Structure 1
């Protein structure tokens, strides 16, 4: 959870608070001069309990807090919380081509992707339906949309290597979008692949189709070698991906596929990165505008400041 707001009024905040302090210091000086001129300072100090000038500090602090709260309220404050995207239905699109059986991720890329996919399904509420598609040179619908997540996890476990050579990523994504078409809830396709699209429709064609169907596509690209570690490479997300090279992946194509549909592309090199990618991609940011609360706080502080000025806290008028 974090608070975000624009810095549009930061300069004005500093200026106004600075002016308040200067006015306070000037007013205190003039008040002291009046007291010294028309009264006995020491006697008044004793009568007031020794704090008749310091009581003004409360008024100054209250004014500064009120101005600060007001300007923060004008700066579009938003409370951002990360929550799992349980309001969506999902289709897992799993690359089952021969390259996915590379053992740089133990025991191999394919089995690791299956394990992490099952963990992801286990975390979803029963309100989310999930489907499963595997693909190599051709596309296989392993499981229709279902909220029986135990059946879905069983389908993931039984999915095996594709029987036809090639990598039909575009066709597989389009099949996932079609599976989600007509659902009332938002739909998200999660693509897991380690190769380039080699047969069937292009990634651009599948991206256009997903856009027309208002379906989000999140892509997880797997690559690297057995020497790679999470500490070395981490997760490289979206267009900021720069440090790690994935020669077998069409990284630009996956970025375009995801970003053009409102999703994100993440590239990972090990099992931990794969686990983190699922969490990162499906965490949604809940944004709540809380400007009203800051306006109310500013108003409350101004009321308190008025009370200070009209009570015995303000000993010398």
Structure 2
């Protein structure tokens, strides 16, 4: 815990003086009782009913003053609180390698079930979008708070050839910053712009690229990438990850499958599909995210459920002066109530 005005903590040195003043008053009362024998006998009789009660109200009042003095110094604590207006993009691999059954019933079915668990775990205030990628990538569900639309988009996945992990990252980033004018076509090299015809209006100039920020510094959005990591098409994964990192967005990668993999057949061809953990770990490290490995459907579902709860929380410094002020007032009122109840006077 830190303080905005730490110098005001010197006020706490007044508390020992108040304790000395209280002890001095007690001694004066005791001396008065000794000078008057009759009063001493009355005091002895009353002390049987008072005991520790005599000192509890002053102690509570002293603690209340201490809490108020700490509040004056404006304490700041690091708290983890639910974050509003957060955007999370699920980037899902739908390449032919997701047909592999090393994660039962197969990688795609396990990924879909886990994605549904993820959507169920995030609160309604969080916007979730879905990007599907194979040889190319597409935003199949723009960020929305409608969980039914998100689940429907996940259920529509169809396997395709190729694995463009880099394209998936770039399309997910463009979904987070739709007003930034990110040129996906130029970055991924997917297709070429048609030539201008005579007399046609040229396209508007592209907005300047913003200066890079510290990786992981953008708190309002995140990308969850699920893939086996084996790139066969699209831009280099490392370059795409660096582009995302320069915008401060974290990428949490989830590897599905086993390093040994298995042989799968698709539309007349067959190949061994393995988990490329090095690529997925590199993406997570470059963007200050985390990497998770799932070897079973239940493990994958648990990872997604935990991520859904984790990504909507935000750790930040929050001033807690009000809490200390409330505590101080509560202790002072309790001290006054007990004193009135026991001794028919306020302290």
TM-score range, shorter chain: 0.5 to 0.7
SS of aligned partner of 2:50: coil
d(CA) in 2 for partners of 1:53, 1:93: 65
Aligned to 2:283: 254
| Shift in CA distance, 87/20, structure 1 to aligned 2, threshold 3 Å | same
Conserved? CA contact 2:228–2:276, under 8 Å:
no
Shift of 1:23: 4.6
The Cα shift of 1:253 comes to 0.9
Work out whether residues 96 and 160 of structure 2, in 8 Å CA contact, stay in contact via their aligned partners in 1.
yes
Task: Look up the match of 2:34.
Answer: 37
How many Å apart are 1:169 and its aligned residue? 1.6
Which is higher, the Rg of structure 1 or of structure 2? 2
**How many residue pairs get matched?**
282
Q: 1:50 to 1:31 in 2, by over 3 A?
A: farther
How far did residue 170 of structure 1 move? 1.9
Residues 215-254 of structure 1, C-alpha deviations (whole Å, 9 max, x = no match): 44333233559xxxxxxxxxxxxxxxxxxxx863435413
Find the counterpart in structure 1 of residue 303 from structure 2. Answer: 274
Structure 1 residues 197, 247: CA separation in 2 closer, same or farther (over 3 Å shift)? closer
User: For the structure 1 residues 296 and 271, does the alpha-carbon distance in structure 2 shift closer, same or farther, using more than 3 Å as the test?
Assistant: closer
TM-score (norm 1): 0.64
Which residue does the alignment assign to 2:227? Answer: 193
Q: 1:117 aligns with which of 115, 118, 121?
A: 115
Give per-residue Cα distances to partners, 1:71-126, cap 9 Å, x unaligned. Answer: 37754246644x4x662344321123444334343312221111222343456677
8 Å contact from structure 1 (residues 86, 124) kept in 2: no
2:47 is equivalent to residue 62 of structure 1: no
Q: Is the 8 A contact 1:308 1:314 kept in 2?
A: no
TM-score after normalising by structure 2: 0.60
Query: Alpha carbons of 1:104 and 1:23: their partners in 2 closer, same or farther (altered >3 Å)?
Result: farther
Moved more, 23-32 or 196-205: 23-32
Which structure 1 segments of 5+ residues have no match?
Answer: 226-245
CA root-mean-square deviation: 4.8
- SS across alignment from 1:115: helix
1 CA distance for matches of 2:117 and 2:327?
44
Q: CA deviation at 1:70?
A: 4.3
Find the residue that maps to 1:110 and give its secondary structure. Answer: helix
Task: After TM superposition, give the deviation of residue 66 of structure 1 in Å.
Answer: 3.6
Work out the CA distance in 1 between the residues paired with 2:67 and 2:158: 61
Aligned to 2:176, which of 175, 180, 184? 180
CA distance in 2, matches of 1:284, 1:53: 46
* 2:57/2:339 contact within 8 Å kept: no
Q: What is aligned with 2:202?
A: none
Is contact 2:85-2:127 (8 Å) kept?
no
Return 5+ residue gaps in structure 2 as ranges: 181-219, 260-274
Instruction: Tell me how far 1:32 sits from its aligned partner.
Output: 6.7
Give the alignment of 1:140-289 within 5 angstroms: 140-141=137-138, 143-145=140-142, 147=144, 150-164=148-162, 167-182=163-178, 187-197=221-231, 199-213=233-247, 215-223=249-257, 248-259=277-288, 263-269=289-295, 270-285=299-314, 289=319
**Is it true that 1:93 corresponds to 2:91 in the alignment?**
yes
